[in-house]
Structure 1
Amino acid sequence: MNLFVKVFLFCIPTIIAANSYAQKTEIGLLLGGSYYYGDIVNTNRIQTQTIGPAGGVFLRKHLNKRTCFRANFMYARIGAADSNLVDKKSAFQESRNLAFYADLFELSGVVEYNLILDYNKARRIVNRAIPYVYGGLGLFYFEPKAIHPITGNPVNLRPLKLDGSTYSPIAIAFPIGAGIRYYLNRNWQLGFDIGIRFTTTSHLDDIAGDSRYANPATLPSEDAKIMLDRSVGGINSSGGTQRGKLNFITDIYAIGGVTLTYRLWPYGLGRAFRGAAISCPRFY
């Protein structure tokens, strides 16, 4: 978890840096869904059964009219099952019959680039709808689980080493995405944001692309032996057979949803949201 602390400390100086946009700082909420691409979902066709809930909070710091820095804390539930294949064309996956779900907790920082200038002229919002694109860096924590076929209880898969490998529950994410936000007034914005996260792990689903089933004799428990082979007919019980499918790409997840944003210093308190302009009181 020390990596999360380091990323957070990296974000702080940018967020609180003093400049002409010192009061253009906003806090926001995202509510929406998540999607996963890996060894189970690996086609271009959307599998609706794979869409899970997602949400989070973020802090946006306007650096100038074109760019912003955004720090995010996001949650997503991802999951998939070989039995839910859309096209039913993979005999390997149908027979393999693996399934998983995982809760992801992400801390990230991204730089947004506004495709339209974001500023006020006196009391008038010049452009209410601001489309943007972004990219950045983050860390996330995940712990893949599956349902025990006998007890029906969730089982943490990582400690079982079902493919004979050890991996960390913390990985790096490279978020890229796009969105649009609309000024309801000078303090509130409503928007939509969607981003894809390329990752450094192939184990979101507990299946490495080039992995093979572990030897049952090397597994730590009886539950591990039960969870090892969920294939139709138990054809992989002896270990050593192919388990993964994709060996050329790491796993990917996406988060998208509706955003609601509020200025931390509402318009009318102190310096207004007007670029470099400062309004002076009138006495007539």
Structure 2
Amino acid sequence: MSYKKAFLTLVGLLSFGMASFAQRFEVGAHAGGSSYMGDLNQYNPIKISGIEAGAFVKLNFNPHLALGLHYNYGKVQGNDASSNNEQFRQRNLSFFTPLNEFSLLLDFNFFDMFAYNGRRRFTPFLFGGVGTVLFEPKAQYEGETYKLRLYNTEGQPKSYKSYALTFPIGAGTKYKLNDSWTLFTQVGFRIPLTDYIDDVSGLYPDPTVWTRNQGLSRALSDRSGEKTGIYIGDPGTQRGDFRKRDSYMFVGIGISYTFVSQKCFTF
């Protein structure tokens, strides 16, 4: 074989490999709603309390498995004053927080939608993985917004971290519009390793634990008497529930684009 033929053969192989890789590369975006389960919402996991939006880049290893880098933004909130539970209304705590999540997720498609001109256009899918979520619970008090983490509202010796490891799991459906564009819906449940998404976890503290901002820390810790003048947050009594972790959920619809560089879309 001449050098020219060998060179052309190598170029052809590289071009084929790059085309095959391009077929597997996918980008997408989605939007919807977010909810949270925790000390201020203990019983309704599908109570949407804010918006959600995200984007991803994904590598499809074969028609069924894909690995993606994902970014999700959400906002959740809770307010005891609007609760159906009388004890919660007496407690009168509230919070809101943005959620910025970065994750690595593995997808599993039940059906092969990617064959060129294939008959299947629909598949359910599952996903799971690991990530990091950044949060910063805040509350309105006397017309001002306060970052609750900075006021040690449960008498912690130091502020809890504003980030946590999180484990997303979920399911959805995909519908192929054509060889490149796909519509999808998904519901994703998150299990972060923290109980402070809402700044509430354990017990009301002894006020003497605060060495600075004592008045403001105490006011943000126990807000039960703001309307009645009767405060129920006695030191050592329960402020939160007995669950060890809060959780949150994103639900939405989206669209993705798969880069197809040749007619035979095979893996």
Query: Structure 2 vs 1, CA of residues 225 and 188 (structure 1 numbering), >3 Å: closer, same or farther?
Result: same
Letter paired with 2:220? M
The equivalent residue for 1:34 is 34
The equivalent residue for 2:117 is 124
State whether residues 104 and 130 of structure 2, in contact with CA within 8 Å, keep that contact through their aligned partners in structure 1.
yes
Task: Tell me the SS of whatever aligns to 1:23.
Answer: helix
Q: How many residues align?
A: 245
The equivalent residue for 1:101 is 96
Q: Say which of 159, 183, 186 aligns to 2:150.
A: 159
Query: Structure 2 vs 1, CA of residues 46 and 57 (structure 1 numbering), >3 Å: closer, same or farther?
Result: closer
Larger Rg: 2
- Structure 2 Cα separation of the partners of residues 65 and 21 of structure 1: 13
- Structure 2 Cα separation of the partners of residues 68 and 254 of structure 1: 22
State whether residues 233 and 239 of structure 2, in contact with CA within 8 Å, keep that contact through their aligned partners in structure 1.
no
Deviation at 1:213, TM superposition (A): 3.2
Q: Say which of 234, 243, 252 aligns to 1:248.
A: 243
Letter paired with 1:31? A
Task: Tell me the SS of whatever aligns to 1:125.
Answer: coil
Query: Structure 2 vs 1, CA of residues 190 and 27 (structure 1 numbering), >3 Å: closer, same or farther?
Result: same
TM-score, with length taken from structure 2: 0.84
- Structure 2 Cα separation of the partners of residues 18 and 176 of structure 1: 32
State whether residues 107 and 138 of structure 1, in contact with CA within 8 Å, keep that contact through their aligned partners in structure 2.
yes
Deviation at 1:237, TM superposition (A): 6.1
Q: Say which of 185, 202, 205 aligns to 1:192.
A: 185
Deviation at 1:98, TM superposition (A): 0.4
- Structure 2 Cα separation of the partners of residues 59 and 273 of structure 1: 22
State whether residues 137 and 147 of structure 2, in contact with CA within 8 Å, keep that contact through their aligned partners in structure 1.
yes
Task: Tell me the SS of whatever aligns to 2:220.
Answer: helix
The equivalent residue for 1:274 is 265
Q: Which moved more, 1:183-192 or 1:216-225?
A: 216-225
Deviation at 1:135, TM superposition (A): 0.9
The equivalent residue for 2:106 is 111
Residues 62-211 of structure 1: pairs in structure 2 closer than 5 A: 62-85=60-83, 88=84, 90-120=85-115, 123-148=116-141, 150=142, 152-165=143-156, 166-208=159-201, 210-211=202-203
Deviation at 1:80, TM superposition (A): 0.6
TM-score, with length taken from structure 1: 0.79
For residues 99-145 of structure 1, the C-alpha deviation after alignment (integer angstroms, 9 at most, x for no partner) is 0000010000111111112331xx41331112101111010100000
Q: Say which of 212, 225, 228 aligns to 2:204.
A: 212
Task: Tell me the SS of whatever aligns to 1:124.
Answer: coil
Deviation at 1:219, TM superposition (A): 5.2
The equivalent residue for 1:10 is none
Deviation at 1:238, TM superposition (A): 5.7
- Give the unaligned 5+ runs of structure 1: 1-16, 277-284
Task: Tell me the SS of whatever aligns to 1:226.
Answer: helix
What is the RMSD of the two structures over their aligned residues, measured on CA atoms?
Answer: 2.2
- Structure 1 Cα separation of the partners of residues 140 and 50 of structure 2: 17
State whether residues 72 and 109 of structure 1, in contact with CA within 8 Å, keep that contact through their aligned partners in structure 2.
yes
Deviation at 1:240, TM superposition (A): 3.4
For residues 220-242 of structure 1, the C-alpha deviation after alignment (integer angstroms, 9 at most, x for no partner) is 21332322221033414664332
- Give the unaligned 5+ runs of structure 2: 1-16
Task: Tell me the SS of whatever aligns to 1:213.
Answer: coil
